[in-house]
Amino acid sequence: GESTSELISILDELREIFTDAIKSAYPEIPNPPILVAQSSSKFCDYQCNSAMKIAQLLKEKNIKVNPNEVGRKIVANLPAIPNAYISKVEVAGPGFINIFLGKSYAINAMKMILENGIQPPKVPRQRIVVDLSAPNIAKEMHVGHLRSTIIGDSIARLLEFLGHDVLRINHVGDWGTQFGMLIAHLKDIFPNYLNESPPISDLQAFYKESKLRFDSDEAFKKRSYACVVDLQGGDPNSLKAWNMICDVSRKEFQKIYDRLDVKLIERGESFYQDRMKVVVKELEDKGLLEDDEGRKIMWGEPAEGIPLTIVKSDGGFTYDTSDMAALKQRIQEEKADWLVYVVDSGQATHFQTVFSCAKRAKIVNPDKHRVDHVGFGVVLGEDGKKFKTRSGDTVKLSSLLDEGLKRSLDKLVEKGRDQVLTPAELKSAQESIAYGCIRYSDLSYNRINAYTFSFDKMLEDKGNTAVYLLYAYTRIKSIARNCGGDFANNIQKVVAETTIQLEHEKEFKLAKTLIKFPDVIKLIAKDLFLHHLCEFVYEISTAFTEFYDACYCIEKNKEGEIVKINAERVLLCEATSLMLAKCFDILGLKPVHKI
């Protein structure tokens, strides 16, 4: 490979090198298997495991060769080694090719990081819609929506970092028959609703009251149905009442988004009213709808499981209809190349069917569009049961965040930080830890699994936790600053004047860890699993600790004065902190100056 001016994917580079070697060693095998991966062993950095597969393919052609021999033949066809990327290869056992990275690329990469910061790997820019959060009006936003908010926000952050054009949509449940009873109730208890906004402080309770009346009072039920018809017919007073109810929820939701620093635009189910009619007609004209006892349904392909209900027997539309309309709007009006839906795994079948129906209707073209349902597991309490308060109610998100703040402050006080930090510093440390640990612990586990919510666990000082990482970051970040002089004031001057050599094994190991970044990012852009990034961050902090324990960066005398600075090593600290800061940014962790 030629030298580059940006951080590149080592895996891509190695794959290219091995593709060339394998093709020239075995021209008789079309599309040979290229299996290059990070090594899980301590003995080497990367591995190529193609030899066994190739020996097998040859065997099928009645050519008997030993896989070890195949491995050696591949190696014989590699470009001259050592080169920029590879310092050494060896063929082990049944044909594993162990790859040892070369220093020159790692040295170059450290310089690039220090000079240009952490730049994203280059990918073609796409228009992407991320559907996240999506709570329901008049109902409490629950921990499931919190997961969707956190995971969706980080996915959007990562895609934005890659340079994509990302639209974050909050598909709130703001439409449907439940609004009939809410409006009817509002009209009854606040007859003056047209002139002053109703003092609803607890929309939950309001919902419960109207539901109670709906279930017990026939006349009220009738009026509720009439309100739905009025609302859907566009009656201005009903629309006004509806808007007032939505506003109460909207304000509550926004407080949560502000606290977590999540940006999104609200475009709820109601937005698609007219578009639903259009998409229903389109599906009908294309002959894709089937009659099922008065309902109009649509099957995915294959026609198994549960079909979508596109039109109810009373002529009304459903959640399914709004998702078909939304998908069409996103592809055709927003011109999206890629749709991401961050919604709990309980809705996996719904989304598979929606995607499949959209393909049948030729709204989605699989060659042009990518669609993903990013599912996640339920939230459990420490007792292993569904996450609830002691009294069995759903946990209010605002109280959950409040408790996080309280626990984080307790933690800081326990460490005596309240004695050291100013009130303002203490507050920002408190918020950074509280929101950081809620976000990080959600992201650090494989999202598919059920997730056990535990403040005790997420606030631990050791292990892969936000608290540990925030402290580690602050410490690393202060190293260059503590050197004073150009290190604190003009680090670029130091960068220009220092030769990086990575002579010590632990220096090299730290650099080899940092340069995995483009591969980690590319992997997540493919599978949308953010725990890879958390694992990477933790791997960095481990490699850093090993480096820092073994390599003096600054030597001090008995008086604590600096007597010697190893500039290269301080720069490695700086590169590490730049990398951590970038990862934190994607994960939504806010590093603080003092903690």
Q: Give contact residues for ligand ARG (rule: CB under 6 A).
A: 131, 134, 136, 171, 173, 323, 326, 341, 343
Of 524, 589, 503, 576, give the one whose Cα is nearest residue 545: 576
Query: How many of the other CB atoms lie within 10 Å of CB of 43?
Result: 11
Of residues 131 and 574, the one with the C-beta less far from ligand ARG: 131
Q: How far is the CB of 131 from ligand ARG (least distance, A)?
A: 5
Q: How far is the CB of 134 from ligand ARG (least distance, A)?
A: 4
Number of alpha carbons in the 13 Å side-chain half-sphere of residue 519: 18
Residue found by looking up tokens 């407080």 in the block? 255
Bridge partners (DSSP) of residue 131 are: 169, 341
CB of 44 to ligand ARG, least distance (A): 45
Give the residue with the Cβ less far from ligand ARG, 179 or 341: 341
**What is d(CA 116, CA 409) in angstroms, rounded to the nearest whole number?**
36
CB of 522 to ligand ARG, least distance (A): 27
Least Å distance, CB 361 to ligand ARG, is 17
Q: Which is nearer to ligand ARG, 95 or 300 (CB)?
A: 300
Tell me how far apart the 2 most distant CA atoms of the chain are, in Å: 89
| CA nearest neighbour of 357 among 317, 309, 314, 294 | 309
| Phi/psi at 416 (5° precision) | 75, 15
**Residue 261 · residue 216 · CB < 8 Å:** no
- Other beta carbons within 10 angstroms of residue 490's beta carbon come to 11
Instruction: Name the strand (E) or helix (H) holding 117.
Output: none
In this structure, what token pair is assigned to residue 158?
A: 């990562």
Smallest CA-to-CA distance from 67 within 80, 81, 82, 54 is with 54
Q: How far is the CB of 116 from ligand ARG (least distance, A)?
A: 38
- The amino acid that residue 325 corresponds to is A
Contact 137, 207 (CB under 8 A): no
Residue 245 Cβ vs ligand ARG, minimum distance, rounded to whole Å: 16
Which residue lies nearer to ligand ARG by CB, 130 or 434?
130
From edge to edge, which strands make up the β-sheet containing 338-342?
265-266, 165-170, 127-131, 338-342, 370-374
Question: What is the residue whose two structure tokens read 């609004």?
Answer: 179
User: How far apart, in whole angstroms, are the C-alpha atoms of residue 459 and residue 434?
Assistant: 8
Phi and psi dihedrals of 292, rounded to 5? -135, 95
Nearer to ligand ARG, 168 or 223 (CB): 168
Q: Nearest distance from residue 206's CB to ligand ARG, in Å?
A: 19
Closest approach, Cβ 207 to ligand ARG, in A, equals 14
Q: Where are the alpha helices (DSSP H) in 329-465?
A: 348-360, 397-414, 423-444, 455-458
Question: Which residue bears the tokens 């970040």?
Answer: 477
Nearer to ligand ARG, 341 or 547 (CB): 341
Minimum Å distance from CB 346 to ligand ARG? 8
